Structure 1
Amino acid sequence: MDDQTQTILSEPRQTSARRQSRGRRVVRLVLIVAVLIAIAIAGTRYWLYARQFATTDDAFVDAYTTQVAPRVAGQVIELLFADNQHVTAGQVLLRIDPRDYQAKLDQAKAQQASAEANVLQAQAQFAVRQADLRQAQANVSVAQADLLQAKQDFDRFKTINPAAVTRQQVDSTVAAYHAAEAKLQASQASVGGAQAQVEAAQAQVTAAQASVAQAKANTEAAELELSYCTIVAPSAGIVTHRTVDTGNYVSKGQPLFALVQDGRWVTANFKETQLAAVHPGQDVNISIDAVPSVTFHGKVDSFQAGTGTVFSVLPAENATGNYVKIVQRVPVKIVFDDDRIKNYSLMPGMSVEPAVRVR
């Protein structure tokens, strides 16, 4: 077969191959365009969905934590909880040796009893002094009557003819009159002395009553210190971070363990630029890293009255040096509105990703 014949036979095959190549390029182009359109549609749908939420990954589970410390010093004689145990409010957790404080209470009670006895004694003495005062006042009345009688006799003798009475009678009448005056003055002075003694007795009663009040206060203080030997849970929660054991001597105010209370919420640090769309009461979807298969529900509760840097140990001082503007974050409290949290052990500090529905 000559060359011309081969050329004529190969032309249809080349034409077919070119057609197939163009067809494959068209298919690839269509696929690429379709993929790009699908990506654009998916991206648009995701953007339309995501713009309905304000999110942050700077969030964590929060709870109130109480650092429990003794209010009296002493040796721990009983530890009534285990590490990470859940306790109820009022449950006894620890006991400190109460013997020293019981002795102080007994001493305070004895001093109170002595003070109360002194009050009774002072009151009895006051009653005696009041009786003495009444007797002195009665003596004044008697002396006044005697003086009145003596004065009447004296005046009578002055009107009688001196020749009708003897000199002895006149002298006796004058002496009786002066004696009655002296007796009255003495009685009146006795009343003053008795009154002073009554006031002194009243002061002793007041002082004794003040001693009783002080003794009662000392007794109550001793009872209070004795009660501090028993440490109870201030609220329901989980006891953790224990640093004490039976036999340890503890000081007043020394942290012994922490009590993480039962309530849980989320503290989310949103950027200040996100807060315009966030308001209390909005629904929140809460994803917790420790429970990846569950999305919890909650609501925005409140905003902290200041950014995180305001309440830090070393607040930023922007009035000095070169200032570089940084977007601040504001802690937002989100409360759970989902009973399912009871089925999971959510601990303070766990990472959370909240999504607040803003549209």
Structure 2
Amino acid sequence: MSHENSNGKAPAGPRKLICRFRGAASRKVLFILVPAVVALGMVLGYPMYLRIMSHESTDDAFVEAHVVSMSPRVAGHVARVPVHDNQWVEKGDLLVEVDPRTFRVALDIALARKQAADAAKEEAEAEVAAARSLMDQRNAALSSDRASLAQARAGVEEYAAGNTRDESDFKRMGEMVEAGAISRQEYDHARAQAAVSRAKLLSAEKNIDTRSARIRQAEAAAQAAEDGLRQALAVVEKHTADAREAEAEVCQARLNLSYTRITAPCAGHVTKKAVEPGAYVQVGQKLLSLVGRDVWVVANFKETQIASMRPGQAVDIEVDAYPGVAFEGHVESIQRGTGSRFTLLPPENASGNFIKVVQRVPVKIVLDRPNGEAGRLLVPGMSVVPSVNVAHWDGVHGSDGAERARETAMQ
């Protein structure tokens, strides 16, 4: 027998009443939980949002260091390799020694050639001194002959004047002897005197010719001595050049001998050693590398990420090798050019179809502590993820920087 209410419907059962009660309770819980979850999400997500808005990061970043590739400057067989892989060496330590015996012999030969060149130069200089002395003697003889010639010419003038006088006296004596004014003896004496003075004049004139010929011979001898001096000087210049060449060969031989000892140009760890004693090495062949202690990070940021990036901004660095460890650093510099611009074959965008690709700009990040934290090794090639705090702008730090980041996030 059924029971109906005044509306003609059966009264609600206990199960329906319980379902209604549970539905109302669930809605009440949802009304409470949803705002709580939203508030909790905002509390937890807002700082993350602020960090996203105030930091720029990339996973295209790697650890870099000073890496020096060592190669020989001379070819030869390796005599010694006193280092091993990953060994720490100081500046000036011996890394590889090429067999120096051949280069010592070459140095001895160069020294002998230099000694011979120096001896030839000294001999040529002695010949120059002898040639100069001979030239001085010939010039002195020439000067003496010229003085004698001048004196002889003065004597000719004197003898000519005496001869003229004696000839005049003899002529007058001839007239006087015909008139009987003088004796025949006096006339003969005048004639003899005139003949003597004429003979002296002729002898003086002959002496001038002789001395002139002697002067010509002396001039030729002086010219020959001067030519000999010039030739000796030319020989000295040649031997001087030979001596300089020999000295240069000695210097080159000494350099080659010094090149047999390959020493460390800086302190660092020996890496990728590819040389052993007894091997024959060529000039320029890579033997090993030295990795310095100082490291830094080169991060390739997208060109759209560097608008607010400046040197000096703080950087948090995560290294894949050390998860959960944050390294601190700062931006040192930003490369003036994208990575593709400095490749071996830069893209030629003016020809063919152009497809725009976001470029990467290398940014150098320096660690605040040398080689990171103590006990954690950072080596070139390690992958890192740097996050640059771009909210740091023109020396703005702390609350001002955070406030600017919040303002940026709220916009």
| Inter-CA distance 341–205: structure 2 relative to 1 (3 Å threshold) | farther
From 257, 264, 268, the equivalent of 2:288 is: 257
Aligned to 1:182: 213
Number of the residue aligned with 2:357: 326
Aligned residue in 1 for 2:405: none
Partner of 1:108: 110
Task: After TM superposition, give the deviation of residue 218 of structure 1 in Å.
Answer: 0.7
| Structure 1 CA distance for aligned equivalents of residues 374 and 238 of structure 2 | 61
Distance 1:15 1:152 in 2: 170
* Alignment match, 1:53: 55
Verify the 8 A CA contact 2:84 2:273 in the aligned structure 1: no
Q: Distance in 2 between matches of 1:321 and 1:189?
A: 85
SS in 2 for 1:346: coil
Q: Match of 2:137, as an amino acid? A: Q
| 1:338 to partner: Cα distance | 1.8
SS in 1 for 2:388: strand
Bigger radius of gyration: 2
Query: Which stretch of structure 1 is more off in the superposition, 103-112 or 321-330?
Result: 321-330
What SS does the aligned partner of 2:325 have?
Answer: strand
Looking at structure 2, the residues matched to 14 and 145 of structure 1 have their Cα atoms a distance apart, in angstroms, of 161
Paired residue secondary structure (2:297):
strand
Secondary structure, counterpart of 1:347 in structure 2: coil
CA distance in 2, matches of 1:311, 1:90: 34
> Structure 2 CA distance, aligned partners of 1:341 and 1:96?
40
Asked if residue 85 in structure 1 is aligned to residue 117 in structure 2, the reply is no
Structure 2 counterpart SS, 1:63: strand
Q: What TM-score do you get using the length of structure 2 for normalisation?
A: 0.81
> Separation in 2 of the partners of 1:20 and 1:153?
164
Offset, 1:187: 1.4
**Residue 59 of structure 2 aligns to a residue in which SS?**
coil
1:211-230 to 2 correspondences below 5 Å: 211-230=242-261
1:205 aligns to 2:233 (yes or no): no
CA deviation after TM superposition for structure 1 residue 10, in Å: 8.4
Shift of 1:342: 5.1
- Unpaired runs of 5+ residues, structure 2, are 4-9, 168-190, 392-411
User: Could you tell me how far apart the structure 1 residues matched to 2:90 and 2:257 are?
Assistant: 22
Distance 1:17 1:159, change over 3 A: closer
Number of equivalenced pairs: 357
1:151 to 150, 153, 177: 153
Output aligned runs, 1:1-359, within 5 Å: 15=17, 18-160=20-162, 161-162=166-167, 163=191, 164=193, 165-166=195-196, 168-339=199-370, 340-341=372-373, 343-359=375-391
More divergent stretch after superposition (157-166 vs 327-336): 157-166
Structure 1 unaligned blocks of 5 or more: none
* CA-to-aligned-CA distance 1:258-292 (integer Å, 9 cap, x gap): 22222211000111111111001111111111122
Normalising by structure 1, what TM-score?
Answer: 0.92
C-alpha distance after superposition, 1:105-140 (max 9, x if no partner)? 101111111111112111111111111111111111
In 1, the alpha carbon distance for the partners of 2:12 and 2:354 equals 78
- Displacement of 1:332: 0.4
2 CA distance for matches of 1:211 and 1:334?
56
Query: 2:62·2:299 contact (CA, 8 Å) conserved in 1?
Result: yes
